[in-house]
Each structure stands twice: as C-alpha cells, then as structure tokens.
C-alpha cells in the first residue's frame, strides 16, 4: 500500500512529466476547475482518485516555513508546500449550486496576496507578514474543512 507521501509524489510526477495524461475536463468537480483556473499555477491540487484532494502552494524559498514542512519539488525546480486537505464532502459541497465559491476564492486570494507581500516586505516587517500568511492559511483550511463556516 502506498504511503500518503509516495502517492503525492507520484501524483505530482504525473502532472510534471505528462500533463496531457490527465487533462482537466468537464468531469472535474467545479471547485477543482475553479481553483486551477483562478490562480494560474500558484496552487496545485492533487488527488489519489478517492475524491479527497491535497492543496499545495508554490513557494519561492524557506521564508515562513518550518524545518519539518511538507515540501514536494518538481524536476523543473518548482517547489510546493502541502497547505491543506480537501475532504470529498467539501469537494461535493463546493461543487453544488447551493454553495458559493466566492468566499473560498477570497480566502485563496488572501493566502496568495499575503505570500507575495511577505516576499516584498522589509526585513523588519517580515514577521508580521509571515503571521498574516499563516493566518490566511488557517482561514483557508477551516473553509475547506467546513464549507458551512466559510462565511466572511
């Protein structure tokens, strides 16, 4: 049986070496299609086919990361940090017409924007910027775990 890390590495390797092997089609859940389209590669979503997804964020360096951070690096040199899990129930909820993606998109955008600000901040402001990025990640995780609590 594959370990979680090995499954993630295999999934990322497939995306890296053979992007046309599993193209995103109309069959992909609405949530997954939306996040892949809206953030232009800043976030990478993987699945082992059971309906659950992992969300990875592209990183530039070690700023803000812990030594035990779960990183996956591509052969092209891009590295991604495992930032969240999306249970199948959340994928289904966000893909239904009853659950709006608006607040979730705002949370993903807040993480992206905080990460970019973190890298453009002055050295003295870096700690506050890292804290804002980490807070954004926590809010995003909560929203992904419990769509009903994904309000403003």
Give me the pLDDT at residue 36, please.
87
Give me the pLDDT at residue 26, please.
54
3-state secondary structure the chain: CCCHHHHHHHHHHHHHHCCCCCCCCCCCCHHHHHHHHHCCCCEEEEECCCCCEEEEEEECCCCCCCCCCCEEECCCCCEEEEEEEECHHHHHHHHCCCCCCHHHHHHHHHHHHHHHHHHHCCHHHHHHHHHHHHHHHHHHHHHHHCHHHCCC
Taking the chain (152 residues) in runs of 10, the rounded mean pLDDT of each run is: 48 44 62 89 92 95 92 93 95 83 93 94 84 96 91 72
Residues 6+ apart with CB under 8 A from 92: 29, 51
pTM, rounded to two decimals? 0.80
Give me the pLDDT at residue 122, please.
80
> How many domains does the structure of the chain reveal?
1
Domain span at residue 77 reads 4-149
Give me the pLDDT at residue 5, please.
52
């Amino acid at each position: 049986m594959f370990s979680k890390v090995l499954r993630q590495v295999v999934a990322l390797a497939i995306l890296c070496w053979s992007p046309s092997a599993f193209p995103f089609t109309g069959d992909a859940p609405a949530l997954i299609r939306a996040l892949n389209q809206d953030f232009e590669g800043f976030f990478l979503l993987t699945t082992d086919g059971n309906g659950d997804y992992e969300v990875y964020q592209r990183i530039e360096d070690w700023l803000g990361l812990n030594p035990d951070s779960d990183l996956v690096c591509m052969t092209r040199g891009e590295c991604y940090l495992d930032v969240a899990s999306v249970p199948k129930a959340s994928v289904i909820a966000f893909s239904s017409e009853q659950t709006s993606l608006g607040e979730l998109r705002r949370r993903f955008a807040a993480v992206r924007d905080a990460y970019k600000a973190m890298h453009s901040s002055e050295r003295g402001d870096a700690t506050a910027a890292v804290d804002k990025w980490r807070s954004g990640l926590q809010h995003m995780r909560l929203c992904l775990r419990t769509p009903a609590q994904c309000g403003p």
